[in-house]
Copies of this chain bind each other. A is one copy, B any other.
Amino acid sequence: MAAQTDDSGPVLPPAIESAWGLRERPPKGPRPGMSVSTIVDAAVRVADADGLAAVSMSRVAKELGAATMALYRYVGSKDELLLLMVDTGYGPSPGPPPPETDWRAGLTRWAWAEHDVLRRRTWLLHVPISGPPITPQQLGWMEDGLRCLDGTTLGEGEKMSTLLLITGYVRNEATLTSQIAEGAQASGLTPSEMMPAYSRMLARLIDPARFPALHRVLSAGVINQDDDPDDEFVFGLDRILDGVEALMERRAG
């Protein structure tokens, strides 16, 4: 409650302050023609349509019918814009777990929510993130995840570690899946042709004597079959949750 005006720690970039709703418009000067959120929304629109690589300051400005340099009145740098894009790209958190939900169902729901976002907006995976979360929605996601673990035997630090474990897993899984899709698109193949093509390439490169285990996997046809990628997701998630459950049981004694 002792939030003094400044001096209290490191300074937040203006654009992030405005994302938190702190920061009123100064009384003087001309009325701003746009706002931080207008810009971020436009940038997100560009990323949704043409990918993150298409997001340049001039492209975003064109989207708004403004000049490139006008954006810099609102955003300190492109990196700052990217940070804000992530925030609105993730969107609102899935909300606290419904009542009567046990931790496992709650975290599963939470993981699927992030999974769905990342499947819809794969460009989120390409944003080079450069620091711990400080934007409102990001922290909202954290909050909702933590609530799933309320009432468990885990300590506060362990709860946090568990969430990081899961969110990391979800990101990773989404990254692999989207890489396959992008690789396919780049080669002019359909996604279903991709894995067989990859499998064939490996078969040509891999010497069974030097890579026996890999050769065995390949022969088993594991890589060929295009099973539902959601099955793969479920496998890893269940492994992690099993591991967390084992810890809880050990804690409970």
A247 to B3, CA, bound (A): 50
- A32 touches B (CB below 8 Å): no
Copies of this protein chain in the complex = 2
Is the Cβ of B20 less than 8 Å from the Cβ of A139? no
Is the Cβ of B213 less than 8 Å from the Cβ of A150? yes
Q: A216-253, CB under 8 A of B: which get 1 and which 0?
A: 11001011000000001001101111111011000000
Give, as a whole number of angstroms, the nearest-CB distance from A21 to chain B.
Answer: 10
- A160 touches B (CB below 8 Å): yes
Give, as a whole number of angstroms, the nearest-CB distance from A225 to chain B.
Answer: 8
A166-216 contacts to B (CB < 8 Å) = 168-169, 171-173, 176, 179-180, 182-183, 186-187, 189, 197-198, 200-202, 204-206, 210-214, 216
9 A-B pairs, CB-CB below 8 angstroms? Answer: A9-B200, A12-B201, A134-B198, A134-B201, A139-B214, A140-B211, A160-B222, A165-B169, A242-B243
Chain B residues near A206 (CB-CB < 8 A):
139
A132-159 contacts to B (CB < 8 Å) = 132, 134, 139-140, 142-143, 146-147, 150, 155-159
Q: How large is the interface on A (under 10, 10 to 19, 20 to 34, 35 or more residues)?
A: 35 or more
Is the Cβ of A236 less than 8 Å from the Cβ of B8? no
Closest to A232 in B: B161
* Contact residues of A: prevailing secondary structure: helix
Give, as a whole number of angstroms, the nearest-CB distance from A177 to chain B.
Answer: 11
Is the Cβ of B164 less than 8 Å from the Cβ of A205? no
- A130 touches B (CB below 8 Å): yes
A240 to B129, CA, bound (A): 25
Chain B residues near A143 (CB-CB < 8 A):
210-214
Closest to A125 in B: B128
Chain B residues near A235 (CB-CB < 8 A):
158, 161
Give, as a whole number of angstroms, the nearest-CB distance from A232 to chain B.
Answer: 6
Give, as a whole number of angstroms, the nearest-CB distance from A245 to chain B.
Answer: 8
- A27 touches B (CB below 8 Å): no
Chain B residues near A223 (CB-CB < 8 A):
160
Is the Cβ of A156 less than 8 Å from the Cβ of B201? no
